[in-house]
Amino acid sequence: MMRKVFSALAFFSFILAFSANAGKVVDAYKASRIDDKLLENAHAVVRKDIGEFDVQDKGNATYKVRRVITILDKKGNKFSNFVVRYDNLNKIRFVNASLYDKNGELVRKAKKNDIKDYAAHDGISVFSDDRLKYISFDYPYFPYTVELEYEIEKSNMMFYPDWSFVNWENVSVEHSQITINLPPEISLDYRTNNFDGTFKEQNVEGKKSYLWSMKNIKAFEEEDYGPPEHMIYPHILFAPSVFEVEGYEGEMRSWADYGKWQIEVNKGRQELPPQTIAEIKELTAKLTTNEQKIRAVYEYMQSKTRYVSIQLGIGGWQPFDATYVDENGYGDCKALSNYTLSLLKAIGIESHYAIIYGGDDPTPLSQDFVHRAFNHVILCVPNEQDTIWLECTSQTNPYGFMGDFTSDRQSLLITEDGGKLVNTPKYERDRNIQSRTAQVVLNVDGESTATITTHYQGLQYGNVDNALNVSPTEQEKWLYRHLNLSDYKILAFSYDQVKRPMPEAKETLELSLRNYGSKSGKRYFFTANLLNKRSSVSMQQGERKYDIYLDFPFVDHDTISYVLPEGYHVEYLPKSKEVTTDFGYYKTEYKVSEGKLLYIRTRAHNDGVFPKERYKEFIEYLNQIAESDNEKVVIVKET
């Protein structure tokens, strides 16, 4: 996972005023000393980014950071805002910040009341000891330089700070380095990515010292359809051989070792009240298959609990015990997964606590490098036919459905033998379907009407899942935000769904379409593609640097029937089109019958990695789709 110690928080920004501290000049901070090559495509330049992680023992360390950034223009202002995060296991010793003008002259040092302290709300956790120190410089005279220094006492030694030599797009770096100091009894494992700097290993005052350094890194510019950041930016991932968190000692020499630590942390937390055990046995007594029983337990858990995130100390890794969840009816991902595991255990069904990264761009894991790159817990249930994965934090999620939040990535199963890396299922293209049929009655002088039915399956179920379990009022608001139409009124709508591991949702709409087409004399122009039009894509200028990364494979089917106004016939139809490439497939057909026009569109989108040399071909393919999607049909009134 890439380290981002500070970030822009515009809603907290304030301007640090001038003070009597001005006058000191630091020659190295002069903007004129920046190499011209580092100014290319840059809004800011990191002059110094120096980190030192000094390990005292397996349970304690100090972490020092000094960062100096020159802000070149208004777009770089966000990089003058500093955030330093802390909690009960990571305590700040000091934070200092200073502002310098373009000549390296000190303008102001931040005073104590300039450094704001806030709860670090993540939008999920109800109770958390995460906090942050926030310092904002918003100086109107460019270029200017900001400096940050801080030191943290760490007693959460499961995490050594990963180091990124580049943290942002359009920011170049003069010098970045990280030093790790270790006592002899602790060994260090690490993995570098895109690192081409210098490395030094030596003994310093009885400790092993490792230093990585990079200089003169030109600003990165991200590219559309490019790889995720962790594949582009140079960075290092670190992992200790042994660690301790609040009295729980562990090893990270193998995934099995790490899993044994989690077993110890979870130990004794699967006990349920006798009445709950009796209730769950009665609930499943007449069910004949394990899958039926697993589903019944999952839906029982959903009906009885709600998701509440509490992240306090070791609670960031240790679940509430099952009895607590049963009695109080809430828990976070750890607690609810552990609770469901306990319910299944009560009826003799084995399952595994599964640690995973939820969200976009998970860091790839390897068997020979143990690194804590997780932020979520789900449940894995072995079954005769197929392994069942349960997302336990949602009261509405279809049984066995993972979605794109946790599918197609690695997870660490906690088994009786320790941790074991496994892959979660991938939703293949032809299972992620959006299938739409519609009838549109055209009215050239007023409002046209449309009746539309859309089925969403697989990952495309996620297109509408936010609308499925809310009130009709909220559903209607959601539709007005998401329908790809310019001027319309919803006359009626409904939703149905089938909850299963490959779920399906059905959306039915009745719409009034105002000014759907345009009238010119006796002719009427309209686009046959009702709701699924793609916009054109601009070709990237200059040489492509990265390969093409495509994700979320899917298939769309649209069949739209148009009832023509009385007295009108088709004068012009766009040509039917069919394109087959490695990137996907696209086909349109137009069929005219008595008083009607039928438009059929199929688009299949492939995932995968494609050579950068094919970028032009890829953009041309997308623009062929966009051009076809937006072509006009012309109908004319008979004279």
Per-residue CA distances from 404 to 201, 355, 461, 544, 553 (Å): 42, 16, 10, 28, 11
List, for residues 449-506, the tens digit of each pLDDT value.
999 999 999 999 999 999 999 999 999 999 999 999 989 999 999 999 999 999 999 9
Beta bridge partners of 503: none
At 130, the pLDDT band (50, 70, 90 cuts) reads confident
Helix (H, G, I), strand (E, B) or coil at 283: helix
Query: How sure is the predictor about 15, in pLDDT bands with cuts at 50, 70 and 90?
Result: very low
Tokens of 63: 């972490």
- Cβ neighbours of residue 314 closer than 8 Å, sequence gap 6 or more: 245, 246, 248, 265
Give CA–CA dist 260/318, Å, rounded: 13
- 16 pLDDT above the threshold of 80: no
Cα–Cα distance between 2 and 234 in angstroms, integer?
Answer: 10
pLDDT at 81 over 60: yes
The answer, yes or no, to whether residue 588 has pLDDT greater than 90, is yes
Compute the distance between CA of residue 442 and CA of residue 634 in angstroms, rounded to an integer: 12
Kindly indicate the confidence band of residue 3, based on its pLDDT and cuts at 50, 70 and 90. Answer: very low
What pLDDT is stored for residue 121 in this prediction? 64
Contacts for 274 with CB less than 8 Å, ≥ 6 apart: none
- Whether omega before 398 lies within 30 degrees of 0, making that bond cis, reads no
Q: Is the predicted pLDDT of residue 581 greater than 90, yes or no?
A: yes
pLDDT over threshold 50, residue 13: no
Contact 137, 51 (CB under 8 A): no
Q: What is the mean pLDDT of residues 55-82?
A: 96
Dihedrals φ, ψ of 375, to 5°? -140, 10
Residue 120 has a pLDDT of: 75
Averaged pLDDT of the chain:
92
Nearest in space to 23 (alpha carbons), one of 112, 114, 142, 104: 104
Task: Give DSSP secondary structure letters for 4-19.
Answer: ------GGG--PPPP-
Sheet strands side by side (includes 596-605) = 488-498, 504-513, 448-457, 433-441, 554-563, 596-605, 584-593, 577-581
Question: What pLDDT was estimated at residue 191?
Answer: 96
Q: Which of 399, 393, 375 is nearest to 306 (CA)?
A: 393
Q: Decide if pLDDT at 123 tops 50.
A: no
Q: What is the side-by-side strand order in the sheet with 116-119?
A: 81-86, 131-136, 116-119
C-alpha count within 13 angstroms, C-beta hemisphere, residue 36: 0
Alpha-helix residue ranges (DSSP H) falling in 393-455: 403-406
pLDDT of residue 308: 87
- With a pLDDT cut of 70, the percent of the chain lying above it is 94
pLDDT at 572 over 60: yes
Task: For 310-340, write each residue's pLDDT tens digit.
Answer: 765 576 789 999 999 999 999 999 999 999 9
Bridge partners of residue 492, in order along the sequence = 510
CA atoms of 88 and 96, how far apart (whole Å): 21
Residues in CB range of 106: below 8 A, 6 or more apart? 21, 22, 23, 24, 25, 26, 98, 99, 100
| pLDDT at residue 14, as a whole number | 32
Q: Is the pLDDT of residue 385 over 90?
A: no
pLDDT for 1 equals: 35
Which residues are within 8 A (CB) of 327 and not within 5 positions of it... i.e. 6 or more apart? Answer: 273
- Angstrom distance (rounded) from CA 370 to CA 355: 13
Say how far apart CA 52 and CA 55 lie, in whole Å.
10
- Residue (of 433, 548, 435, 446) closest to 489 by Cα position: 446
Tokens of 608: 């995968």
Write down the pLDDT at residue 124: 47
pLDDT for position 22? 55
- Between these two residues, 429 and 541, which has the higher pLDDT value? 429
- Res 11: pLDDT: 30
Which three-class secondary structure state does DSSP give residue 31? helix
Residue 312, pLDDT score: 58
Residue 615: band (very low, low, confident or very high) from pLDDT cuts 50, 70, 90:
very high
pLDDT score, position 10: 34
pLDDT at 36: 97
Cα(381)–Cα(422) distance, integer angstroms = 13
Pairing verdict, β 242-245 and 248-251: antiparallel
Per residue in 510-547, pLDDT (tens digit) is 999 998 999 999 999 999 999 999 999 988 888 999 99
What pLDDT band is residue 23 in, cutting at 50, 70 and 90?
Answer: low
Angle at 131 between CA 130 and CA 133, to 5 degrees: 150
Q: Is 170 helix (H, G, I), strand (E, B) or coil?
A: coil
Q: Is 566 helix (H, G, I), strand (E, B) or coil?
A: coil
Which is nearest to 522 in space by CA: 634, 628, 416, 383? 634
Task: Supply the pLDDT for residue 17.
Answer: 37
CA 270 to chain centre: 31
All domains of the chain in start order, with CATH: 10-248 (2.60.40.3140), 254-423 (3.10.620.30), 429-637 (2.60.120.1130)
State mean pLDDT over 143-149: 97
Q: What is the per-residue pLDDT for 228?
A: 92
* Structural contact between residues 467 and 475, judged by C-beta atoms closer than 8 angstroms: yes
- For residue 54, the cross-strand partners are 62, 181
Q: Which residue has the higher pLDDT, 206 or 1?
A: 206
